[in-house]
Structure 1
């Protein structure tokens, strides 16, 4: 029995198409549910796969706790009139004689601008000598200078003004309206007042963090907590450095979601539902709502609580599973807290791969038909 060239061409083309389809995997966004579950510890993998329930959401609901230590909170407001080392003073001295100690022949007043308080807290005034200024008020310093000069010039009148100096300033940098160095004055002796003086924050308040550096100590709070908790409106100290920056936490979205990228947090706490919404939701044409996974390296103390164990040591690979089709699935997703560096992955629905297979086969059969037609044409031409 002889086979016609056209039938041979059809067979060869079909075999070639099937061979290509079998040797090459169909394109997809990532692993399917079966493959993820195959990597569980129960199946000799290295990750614990946990279905999310109320107990799991409570155990894993960890939000960064920010706040100031007691040393920051207990620090009292510094009196705006208290002189400190590094401050700058302005002095004016009047004398009741035409030719005084300090004034010239045609003037009876002498002005000494920018008299610096040294590191030991002293200033120098001609004919009065070194005077202890730090820790005193301008009024106290005025009385000391007057007392020391009155033995040398009749009825001296002294004015002492406290100007802004190095010892009474703070620096503000970061996402602030006006970065710079600001004097601690009577209206700006607290953190909130100083932030307002500098123009306020220039990023979304929900994700703004305020760090105060004081010597070797550091405290950080959420900007919004500054107004929710009055105790966080701490008194400032000269030399404080204030940094306002955006929350750096982020999660990664992969799979059948509207966006596949590293996504920054938009609020202090972020639930799985909010994270899904933040990336554009699930793709209606391909996402599997029963296969929403959160991949995380969980600290041992939390992993032990979730698994009901006490023997785990070190960070554990955990995969939390959400099924949005369950009666309370949306509530579970709403209550489950996303954390920094989490990976949100949504699998494709099984029919998506089936559609891809059908599309691939349809395309293959079309190619087979084209090859067959070409073969028939060539056969006819050679026969003719």
Structure 2
């Protein structure tokens, strides 16, 4: 009777554990929620109209929406404004001024020069830095306001001041050191510098190249552009892939080049659970699955593959299944679902782009949880069965 009582108790334990395994397996160890649990938590219902995150099925429409609503980038933040037609002189610039007269005997000639040549006479004024008052000094012309003017406008102002004093005066103004029309480049570049901007216009990649180029790998390099009180950030690969993102730099801009490794996290029933680097210009969901070692044959539920991330409001607006409360947030948590049992899902996975800090999660198959329950029951009941067998043998 003793042995039979032990067996009866064992069967009761088995029944409890089996029921637990079939009702969600909450008593069993696991790597995360089941696919059904994720689907239920992200699907609104009459009793629970608001959910903690949005559940979105990955299809061609979703892939197209994500492509339309990528990161704003530099052009989206600043626009592709053309450079100014001229670069005005500013405080701190250094000017070289050369003056000419049509004949000898004027203000800028000397007896030695007259004997050497009967032609026009010239004089070069030593380099001058534009003062805080925005002016420079020209002999016989006095203080000339130059800040905010172009070189041609300053030349005309000098000639006007010398008219009647010099013999048919002419002036040539050259900016020998330009500190006003420059952009600052710093960070992961060969040599941080203040780069002068040319009249033809310089784009972001031109200015970075003038500073020696970036030192980090392309797919890990980002550039931040600060203009006034606004800052925007974009990956270098976006500027290379889309020339429209390579916008014109304006005087006073600050470019900061940063190295930011891109990674995604793998969890659940995959070949390896880890933080995986992109190590490429871009990575798709199909490639992410491969880097994770694929789905584990003995554990994975192919219909329970999810990509978890926070999305911008602009992209969420195109998903009709997202609740208004979630859509009103600045960043919305979204669980993208893909059923890998569908053959078409393999092609969809190739078009779905992974992003930095995404979570790739694959749930366990339901049969795996049942197997865990049987294994746990076996571990608990085996000593009792062996003890009952020994007791029966002794009697």
Relative to the length of structure 1, the TM-score reads 0.69
Partner of 1:321: 337
Partner of 1:86: 92
Instruction: Measure the CA separation in 2 of the matches of 1:21 and 1:309.
Output: 37
Partner of 2:118: none
Deviation at 1:64, TM superposition (A): 1.9
Partner of 1:137: 151
- Once the two structures are overlaid, the 10-residue window that deviates more, 8-17 or 300-309, is 8-17
Deviations 1:104-136 (A, max 9, x none): xxxxx99745x2213453113465421233434
Deviation at 1:195, TM superposition (A): 1.2
Instruction: Measure the CA separation in 2 of the matches of 1:256 and 1:116.
Output: 69
Partner of 2:117: none
Mapping of residues 25-104 of structure 1, within 5 Å: 25-39=27-41, 40-42=43-45, 44-45=47-48, 46=51, 49-61=55-67, 62-68=69-75, 73-76=80-83, 83-90=89-96, 96=110
Deviation at 1:87, TM superposition (A): 0.7
Which residue of 351, 370, 381 corresponds with 1:335? 351
Deviation at 1:49, TM superposition (A): 4.3
- Once the two structures are overlaid, the 10-residue window that deviates more, 285-294 or 225-234, is 225-234
Three-state SS of the structure 2 residue aligned to 1:245 is strand
Residue pair 2:218, 2:281 contacting (<8 A) in 1 also: no
Q: Which runs of 5+ in 1 are unaligned?
A: 99-108
Residue pair 1:188, 1:197 contacting (<8 A) in 2 also: no
Instruction: Measure the CA separation in 1 of the matches of 2:109 and 2:5.
Output: 120
Instruction: Measure the CA separation in 1 of the matches of 2:244 and 2:7.
Output: 82
Mapping of residues 1-384 of structure 1, within 5 Å: 7=3, 25-39=27-41, 40-42=43-45, 44-45=47-48, 46=51, 49-61=55-67, 62-68=69-75, 73-76=80-83, 83-90=89-96, 96=110, 112-113=126-127, 115-125=128-138, 128-134=141-147, 135-137=149-151, 141=155, 144=158, 148=162, 161-184=174-197, 189-206=202-219, 208-216=221-229, 222-227=235-240, 232-245=245-258, 251-260=264-273, 270-295=283-308, 305-307=318-320, 314-315=328-329, 318-338=334-354, 342-365=358-381, 367-368=383-384
Cα distance 1:13–1:79, how it changes in 2: closer, same or farther (>3 A)? Answer: same
Residue pair 1:50, 1:318 contacting (<8 A) in 2 also: yes
Deviations 1:217-266 (A, max 9, x none): 55655534545555555444332211233568765432123454566666
Residue pair 1:138, 1:161 contacting (<8 A) in 2 also: no
Instruction: Measure the CA separation in 2 of the matches of 1:304 and 1:78.
Output: 41
Deviation at 1:172, TM superposition (A): 0.8
Residue pair 2:309, 2:335 contacting (<8 A) in 1 also: yes
Residue pair 2:93, 2:129 contacting (<8 A) in 1 also: yes
- Once the two structures are overlaid, the 10-residue window that deviates more, 285-294 or 141-150, is 141-150
- Once the two structures are overlaid, the 10-residue window that deviates more, 157-166 or 276-285, is 157-166
- Once the two structures are overlaid, the 10-residue window that deviates more, 195-204 or 43-52, is 43-52
Deviation at 1:55, TM superposition (A): 3.6
Instruction: Measure the CA separation in 1 of the matches of 2:77 and 2:54.
Output: 40
Cα distance 1:159–1:262, how it changes in 2: closer, same or farther (>3 A)? Answer: same
Deviations 1:4-35 (A, max 9, x none): xxx59976996898699789922210111233
Instruction: Measure the CA separation in 2 of the matches of 1:245 and 1:362.
Output: 55
Deviation at 1:290, TM superposition (A): 1.7
Number of matched residues?
A: 361
Residue pair 1:91, 1:161 contacting (<8 A) in 2 also: yes
Instruction: Measure the CA separation in 2 of the matches of 1:338 and 1:227.
Output: 19
Deviation at 1:345, TM superposition (A): 1.6
Instruction: Measure the CA separation in 1 of the matches of 2:124 and 2:266.
Output: 71
- Once the two structures are overlaid, the 10-residue window that deviates more, 160-169 or 132-141, is 132-141
Residue pair 1:63, 1:269 contacting (<8 A) in 2 also: no
- Once the two structures are overlaid, the 10-residue window that deviates more, 350-359 or 25-34, is 350-359
Residue pair 2:54, 2:333 contacting (<8 A) in 1 also: yes
Partner of 2:104: none
Deviations 1:292-333 (A, max 9, x none): 123456667755643379977525665432111212121232
Q: Which runs of 5+ in 2 are unaligned?
A: 21-25, 100-107, 113-122
Deviation at 1:68, TM superposition (A): 2.4
